[in-house]
Structure 1
Amino acid sequence: MVHTAGFPRRFSLWAGLALVLGGALAGCAPPESEALQMEPEAPLDSQSQALSYPNGSSRTVVSRRVVSMNASGVYQAAPGFEQFRAAGASDSTLHAIRIAQVEAPSVREAIVFMTAGQKISSSGHSSGVTGQSSNWDASCDGVSCPNVLLDGRSLAMKLNALGWFPPGKTHLSVANDSNFDHLFDSDTKQRIVNGFVHWLEAQVRPETRSIYLAGSSRGGCLVMRIAQALRANTGLDGIEIYVSSFDGVCRNSQGELGTFDTKINNPVRPWGTFYGAWATNLSAQFPRHERLHLYQVVGGQEVAPATGIRAFSAYAGTTPPSTGTHLDWGWYKQTWVKWQHKEIGNPYTDPSTSDQPLVIAETIDAQLTWLDGLL
């Protein structure tokens, strides 16, 4: 693995250690018969520590619509994004999807794709994953959004600066808006997923050895579903797949990502809150674990009051526990945090100033620490 000059992977190990992830609350022990069938858990009081990773450089990019609209109101597939239209979602749905190809070299040893969460109003959506600000879409026209600034503190720009995926040989893209709307019907969502999957598969080259996906909120659910399809593609068996999800939200009433109407309580939730996540048997969703690495940081705050919209949680054993624990199954890791949904998605703007260092350590830098240990 290539690394940035002057910045070794395990930099300042003693000086750079941040606060320990999670809390010290422990979940109830399962019955012995159930424990025998369970995947391993990670104790809540022995979380891995997050290093403090340096910021990257901010970048200005052009975010293109995958289906554009000309002055006459006619839709057409954007060059290089034809896979989206071929997957069958409506042009009006696809017109809202905007992707910036930050780095697109001809030689591609790695594919890196990150996506923001769902935009829930007429304004843009800020993201600590992609680095976009809340007004990123102010300059958009029917074809593209020029001059989109990606913050150097973001996961995308930090990872780009670290050089863990080969500089000059890594295709890096961010979806500023994936339009993966929580309220869309299952068929529309599947067509959107198929569009992303087929587009990413088209970026793969014979020399590609790794794919890294990251997303927050609805984007977290999207990258998990993309990973399902990529890992099911036997033609990609030689490629390592890494996925970072930040409070990924899937719709339980549709069984999205296997979620159903059982809530697993957050073991480190703030007093007086009802943070928790919809249960999913994630092992059944990913029957092929080879060269697969998933990590979900989950808080489980209800995204909007009385909507039932909240993150997912994997569970071990035959039935979900009432209260969760941190999980580490080798191919899947999950840590619970006490932060609000919006704080997990953008730790640089939403938490209080005093909380920001810890939120960053338990979200962005925790994911980087995990990835660093695998590469």
Structure 2
Amino acid sequence: MVHIAGFPRRITLWAGLALALGGTLTGCAPPEPEALLPGEPEASLDSQSQALSHPNGSSRTVVSRRVVYKDASGNYQAAPGFEQFRAAGASDSTLHAIRIAQVEAPSVREAIVFMTAGQKISSSGHSSGVTGQSSNWDAACDGVSCPNVLLDGRSLAMKLQALGWFPPGKTHLSVVNDNNFDHLFDSDTKQRIVNGFAQWLQAQVRPETRSIYLAGSSRGGCLVMRMAQALRANTALDGIDIYVSSFDGVCRNSQGELGTFDTKVNNPVRPWGTFYGAWATDLSAQFPRRARLHLYQVVGGQEVAPATGIRAFSAYSGATPPSTGTNLDWGWYKQTWVKWQHKEIGNPYTDPSTSDQPLVVSETIDAQLTWLDGLL
């Protein structure tokens, strides 16, 4: 591939969540028999092992700002540059938890890159292999901002920046350390949060913008998928390529979020004795406008917390979902199954065993980068 310089490259739920994110979930029965639908679009189950190894970037320290902050009198105020969140209508107390670091914000923006961690579910922070933040990133946060947030050079955000595929000095890069896109929120609150993020991101677009890249893990994966729906529905952005990387993206099936419903597609490479699988969604129906749209979900499907039904989504084709999934490659949408735990997919540098880390990184962070490189 030739790249031309200067162009964009193409709860008890709470208790259960805390328990699951600290340990391994296993079942007590063998996996169900596999079944495929005749003629179902699929890709080789070995495809994720073909990812290239991409070099690490440099770690850097950033300031993460609250989109709604508290002034000296304790009153909520919309943070300058983030007014779109309050305008979208979510409560100030909900928005106060959302913190975003604008890593690079040049005036000329040929590309927009947006990455988000998953849901923060306890008093501690949330580490992320996507954004590069550590588990104690929020230790110094106050009512206005979080200074000195360190982004690990091994993260997707820092690796992508080092690769320079989107024009250096002409790319707006933001990382969301806490999106507060809570799985348990009602549908209306979630929609207001999605609207706030989508409207804020659209405000970063300039006449010269040609590419938007979104990436997120867990609840962040669902958020970027829903943001992509809003962006692709906006005909004013039809000339812009939209790329989305989801790492075991989790949408709430009981609310029909992203079209998910109560049919589980079993993970074809799940470890023996587990029940890894993902909630089915007819993703084609969720994205009726697919020109210049490119989506990739790496999915494991481990239940995030025991007996909660919280798990990732899986696309399917045909009249009904298959009992057991396959890797998919529809041109505009790609999906690969992995055997890793939910937390390992989102945190491949900290949560897998030392011996497993290289393979987990290859099948998550580097797999997404290899996919993106093939499109740019």
| C-alpha distance after superposition, 1:89-115 (max 9, x if no partner) | 000000000000000000000000000
Measured at CA, do residues 71 and 374 of structure 1 come closer, stay the same or move farther in structure 2, by a change above 3 Å? Answer: same
Answer yes or no: is the 8 Å Cα contact 1:20–1:48 preserved in 2.
no
Measured at CA, do residues 157 and 294 of structure 1 come closer, stay the same or move farther in structure 2, by a change above 3 Å? Answer: same
Answer yes or no: is the 8 Å Cα contact 2:179–2:220 preserved in 1.
yes
Measured at CA, do residues 208 and 2 of structure 1 come closer, stay the same or move farther in structure 2, by a change above 3 Å? Answer: farther
Q: Identify the residue that residue 148 of structure 1 maps to in structure 2.
A: 149
In structure 2, distance between residues paired with 1:28 and 1:324: 21
Answer yes or no: is the 8 Å Cα contact 1:111–1:203 preserved in 2.
yes
Give the deviation of 1:31 after TM superposition.
Answer: 22
| C-alpha distance after superposition, 1:187-228 (max 9, x if no partner) | 000000000000000000000000000000000000000000
Measured at CA, do residues 286 and 185 of structure 1 come closer, stay the same or move farther in structure 2, by a change above 3 Å? Answer: same
Answer yes or no: is the 8 Å Cα contact 1:39–1:329 preserved in 2.
no
| C-alpha distance after superposition, 1:255-291 (max 9, x if no partner) | 0000000000000000000000000000000011100
Measured at CA, do residues 166 and 19 of structure 1 come closer, stay the same or move farther in structure 2, by a change above 3 Å? Answer: farther
Give the deviation of 1:11 after TM superposition.
Answer: 47
Measured at CA, do residues 281 and 169 of structure 1 come closer, stay the same or move farther in structure 2, by a change above 3 Å? Answer: same
Give the deviation of 1:72 after TM superposition.
Answer: 1.8
Answer yes or no: is the 8 Å Cα contact 2:132–2:152 preserved in 1.
yes
Answer yes or no: is the 8 Å Cα contact 1:139–1:146 preserved in 2.
yes
| C-alpha distance after superposition, 1:100-138 (max 9, x if no partner) | 000000000000000000001000000000000000000
Structure 1 stretch displaced more, 261-270 or 47-56: 47-56
Answer yes or no: is the 8 Å Cα contact 1:3–1:163 preserved in 2.
no
- What TM-score, normalized to structure 2? 0.90
Answer yes or no: is the 8 Å Cα contact 1:50–1:361 preserved in 2.
yes
Measured at CA, do residues 208 and 39 of structure 1 come closer, stay the same or move farther in structure 2, by a change above 3 Å? Answer: farther
Root-mean-square deviation (CA), in Å?
7.9
Give the deviation of 1:45 after TM superposition.
Answer: 3.9
Give the deviation of 1:26 after TM superposition.
Answer: 22
Q: Structure 1: where are the runs of 5+ without partners?
A: none
SS where residue 176 of structure 1 aligns?
A: strand
| C-alpha distance after superposition, 1:1-59 (max 9, x if no partner) | 99799999999999999999999999999999999996621122455611111100001
In structure 2, distance between residues paired with 1:274 and 1:164: 38
Measured at CA, do residues 18 and 7 of structure 1 come closer, stay the same or move farther in structure 2, by a change above 3 Å? Answer: farther
In structure 2, distance between residues paired with 1:367 and 1:29: 32
Q: Identify the residue that residue 93 of structure 1 maps to in structure 2.
A: 94
In structure 2, distance between residues paired with 1:58 and 1:98: 19
Answer yes or no: is the 8 Å Cα contact 1:4–1:163 preserved in 2.
no
Measured at CA, do residues 2 and 107 of structure 1 come closer, stay the same or move farther in structure 2, by a change above 3 Å? Answer: farther
Answer yes or no: is the 8 Å Cα contact 2:57–2:159 preserved in 1.
yes
Structure 1 stretch displaced more, 48-57 or 235-244: 48-57
Answer yes or no: is the 8 Å Cα contact 1:129–1:215 preserved in 2.
yes
In structure 2, distance between residues paired with 1:295 and 1:144: 32
Counterpart check, 1:259 vs 2:260 = yes
Give the deviation of 1:316 after TM superposition.
Answer: 1.1
Q: Identify the residue that residue 241 of structure 1 maps to in structure 2.
A: 242
Q: Structure 2: where are the runs of 5+ without partners?
A: none
**What percent of counterpart residues are identical?**
91
Measured at CA, do residues 29 and 367 of structure 1 come closer, stay the same or move farther in structure 2, by a change above 3 Å? Answer: farther
SS where residue 201 of structure 1 aligns?
A: helix
In structure 1, distance between residues paired with 2:85 and 2:229: 18
Answer yes or no: is the 8 Å Cα contact 1:13–1:51 preserved in 2.
no
In structure 2, distance between residues paired with 1:29 and 1:189: 36
Measured at CA, do residues 8 and 281 of structure 1 come closer, stay the same or move farther in structure 2, by a change above 3 Å? Answer: closer
Measured at CA, do residues 112 and 19 of structure 1 come closer, stay the same or move farther in structure 2, by a change above 3 Å? Answer: farther
Give the deviation of 1:70 after TM superposition.
Answer: 1.5
Give the deviation of 1:299 after TM superposition.
Answer: 0.1
Equivalent pairs, count:
375
- What TM-score, normalized to structure 1? 0.91
